[in-house]
Structure 1
Amino acid sequence: MLTLENIKYSRNSKEIIKGVNISFEEEKITSIIGSNGVGKSTLAYIIMGLSDYKPNEGKIYLDDNDITNFSITDRARLGISLLWQEPARFEGLSVKNYLSLGGKIKLDDIKEALNLVRLNPDVYLSRFVDKKLSGGERKRVEIASCILLKPKFLIMDEPDSGIDLMSLDMIVDIMKHLKENDTGVIVITHREEIANHSDYSYLICDGRVLKSGACSDIIDYYRSTCDVCDNVNTPKEQEI
């Protein structure tokens, strides 16, 4: 279990996250839903432990262990990983070498991961993770690397970013694959097509949890309330 208790975060004297309480389970897909600019990615960075995203208040627990002050490296060692919206480039490093994690990963497993992200291993193993790969190709390679890490929890921040709409079903298949292999998936999205496959959902607005529950209920609420709300990023008082 990964738990955030009363997390508050401010930057440049502006309060961005305002007392968030959220729990995530292994072998479950949990979605964090909300419009752009409501604090979803900030929450992802706080969970991952980026140096500029230490909460001002609150605690983060992994299996009852307080990891609030753990570095990003320490959290990665404990099995927390983040799929970045914008994947990195590594000039001179082949896809095969990048995915092998220093020779720790078997070639058959690398091929399986590439097939899952719908990149032909015969074509891509010898390609390089550089500017010759499109943004969508690099994103798929990054997803493959996350699959091979087999983390306890994988934060997928807008996983369809940079990938064409026809590949949304690929994202869903990967989420299900991770879940079946005991990974807790935390998917941050504003797309119903992705969120619909969650076991549980949280709706975020103005740095707060506005509502939580079954994904279908959250999406219905989002359509009926958030889509027509005049208060951009700020919920009406009666809806808090």
Structure 2
Amino acid sequence: MEPILTVNDVKLTIDGRPILKGVNLVVNKGEIHAVLGPNGAGKSTLASLIMGINDLKEPDSGEIVFKDKLLNGLEISERAKLGVTLAWQEPARFEGITVEEYLKLSGRNNPDLDVVECLELVGLDCSYLNRFVDDTLSGGERKRVELASVLAMRPELAVLDEPDSGIDFASMEDIANMIRTMRDRGTTVLMITHREEIAEIADRATLMCDGKVVQTGDPKEVGGKFKNMCVKCEVRNPELVGGE
């Protein structure tokens, strides 16, 4: 398999607290790769470092490489030009911009853009085209619109931070199908989640705990380890952190 994203021994301390403790991760081109772990494991911090947001342009040590390009220190706009995009856990609000305008702006470099199809793939219909991307949409609706915008962009790598956030259980199949469609159309997906049932739609999964990678492999096996060990662990489990 050809790696598209490589994280090499990444360490990061924030306000004197170690958050990432030597993270190693390889995401292969054309796969859905889930990063699974409990809250506080360092998953979203890793996503921020990959995208260069929240004042996290580079780690204290280690490298983040997209294809053959070192991402350390690059602005978010530079990373986007390379083909990397992020769907935030809390979707943005854009006053005065309609959903149609937002999707067309997102997909301006996509010659095959079909905004209605993008909406349908996330479980919304064309009645949303004239809605505004603001608080008139529910959190779940804004989440769907943001995911539709990623579909419109067709980036080489999409980092989805908690794509199930704000989505009711009955709607998760829509989101799962959208993520599979994204992969099938050539976008590699790195999916951040704390739910093993979401991780199971991935081709491979990585379990993180306490700023470290515990295991990478089959999503069901990784999800089983998460369910049997992490979920029950109120305090960081030394055996888990030092395990596989």
TM-score, shorter chain, exceeding 0.5: yes
Q: By how many angstroms is 1:228 displaced?
A: 3.2
Q: CA RMSD in A?
A: 1.9
For 2:147 and 2:107, the matched residues in 1 are separated by 18
TM-score computed with the length of structure 2 as normaliser:
0.92
Count of matched residue pairs: 239
For residue 221 of structure 1, report the CA deviation from its aligned partner.
Answer: 1.7
Please name the residue that 1:43 is paired with. 46
Does residue 19 of the first structure (1) align with residue 32 of the second (2)?
A: no
Q: Is the 8 A contact 2:107 2:149 kept in 1?
A: no
Distance 1:48 1:23 in 2: 16
Check the 8 A contact 2:106/2:149 in 1, yes or no. no
| Matches of 1:88 and 1:229, distance apart in 2 | 33
Kindly tell me: are residues 138 and 233 of structure 1, through their superposed partners in 2, closer, same or farther at Cα, counting changes over 3 Å?
Answer: farther
Alignment correspondent of 2:152: 148
Q: Which structure 2 segments of 5+ residues have no match?
A: none
Which of 189, 192, 206 aligns to 1:188? It is 192
Equivalent position to 1:111, from 108, 116, 119: 116
The CA distance in 2 between the partners of 1:141 and 1:80, in whole Å, is 18
What amino acid sits opposite 1:217 in the alignment?
E
Alignment partners' CA distance in 2, 1:86 and 1:230: 25
Is the 8 Å Cα contact of residues 47 and 159 (structure 2) preserved in structure 1? yes
* AA of the residue aligned to 1:40: K
Which deviates the most, 1-10 or 43-52?
43-52
Q: Which structure 2 residues correspond to residues 30-109 of structure 1 after superposition, within 5 A?
A: 30-50=33-53, 52-53=55-56, 54-101=58-105, 104=108, 109=114
Identity in percent = 42
Ranges in structure 1 where 5+ consecutive residues have no aligned partner: none
* d(CA) in 2 for partners of 1:59, 1:102: 29
The TM-score with structure 1 as length reference comes to: 0.93
